[in-house]
Amino acid sequence: MILCANFKANKTRQETRAYMAVVESFVSANDITDTIIVFPPFTALEHDPRNVLIGVQNGYPVKNGAFTGEIALEQLEEFGIKTILIGHSERRHILGETQEQIAAKFRFFAEQGFLIVYCVGEPLEIREQGHEALMAYIEKQFEGIDLTYSDLVLAYEPVWAIGTGLTPSNSDIELLHGALRMKTTAPLLYGGSVKVDNAGEIMALENVDGVLVGSAALSANDFCDMIAQAVELNTEKGE
């Protein structure tokens, strides 16, 4: 299983340190073999995470240069960062990233050998049009994306489920993940209002290989609880 905590624009450097201490101790005390990834804000990056991967929520696809306000490869390398989130719906819909820009990021960071957690997902009005419209919408989010890239993790996050407390039904998640499984062998994560109460049941679904969690992962203890639920499922899913 792969469990990701995306802090978004939350937590200070000090709060992130305290959080990492709890999660790292939990992972080592319980010999966790699942992949745990934390995406803190840039300001809270540290040099030496131990048993948890640290990724960035964004990055500018150049080595360095005149790009005011951006963080490029050279700055990420200084912190040993090799994991990045690309295509998150907040970057698409709030920050206005186009598919072309997203694909350029994907190409650049894939060339650099990054582990890429690539996000796709539909707004509510598309979901209401049915499965075919939904898949056609998601297909557009694959334009310029190499779904055979070896260090790809694909996260399905319905936009209307992010931070709202709403989730698709389990059968809807399975239907969508089944369709994504036909397109790629990459691990498939579900994201959107995952919390302690539903994480286990979502991770148990067919073709769900982990979760990408926002608000509910801001509590280190809750995130550890979700990791513990994944460990229980590993035996059942034969991982």
Ligand X SMILES: O=C[C@H](O)COP(=O)(O)O
The helix/strand/coil state of 47 is coil
Stretch that binds ligand X, among 11-19, 41-49, 108-116, 185-193 (CB under 6 A): 185-193
Question: Per rule CB under 6 A, is residue 211 in the interface with ligand X?
Answer: no
Question: Per rule CB under 6 A, is residue 158 in the interface with ligand X?
Answer: no
Structure token pair of residue 32: 């966790």
Amino acid occupying residue 115: L
Q: Among residues 55, 158, 168, 191, which is the contact residue for ligand X, using CB under 6 A?
A: 191
Stretch that binds ligand X, among 131-139, 143-151, 157-165, 176-184 (CB under 6 A): 157-165
Question: Per rule CB under 6 A, is residue 2 in the interface with ligand X?
Answer: no
Q: Interface residues for ligand X in 122-141 (CB under 6 A)?
A: none
User: Running DSSP on this structure, what letter comes out for residue 159?
Assistant: G
Structure token pair of residue 96: 């206005």
Stretch that binds ligand X, among 100-108, 155-163, 174-182, 225-233 (CB under 6 A): 155-163
Question: Per rule CB under 6 A, is residue 157 in the interface with ligand X?
Answer: yes
Least distance to ligand X from the beta carbon of 44, Å?
A: 16
Question: Per rule CB under 6 A, is residue 214 in the interface with ligand X?
Answer: yes
**C-alpha dihedral sign at 117, 27, 22, 75:** negative
Q: Which is nearer to ligand X, 62 or 228 (CB)?
A: 228
Beta carbons of 166 and 193 less than 8 angstroms apart = yes
Is 157 annotated in the active site? Answer: yes
Burial class (CB in 10 A: 0-12, 13-18, 19+), 174: middle
Q: With left for phi above 0 and alpha for psi between -120 and 50, is residue 130 left, alpha or beta?
A: left
- For the chain, how many residues are written? 239
Q: Which is nearer to ligand X, 44 or 162 (CB)?
A: 162
Catalytic one of 88, 90, 122, 177 = 88
Is 131 annotated in the active site? Answer: no
Q: Which is nearer to ligand X, 4 or 78 (CB)?
A: 4
Cα angle at 219 between 213 and 223, to 5 degrees?
A: 50
Beta carbons of 160 and 184 less than 8 angstroms apart = no
Q: Which is nearer to ligand X, 202 or 212 (CB)?
A: 212
Structure token pair of residue 61: 């696809």
Using CB under 6 A, count the residues that bind ligand X. Answer: 13
Q: Which positions are annotated as active-site residues?
A: 88, 157
Interacting residues toward ligand X by CB under 6 A? 6, 157, 162-163, 191-194, 212-216
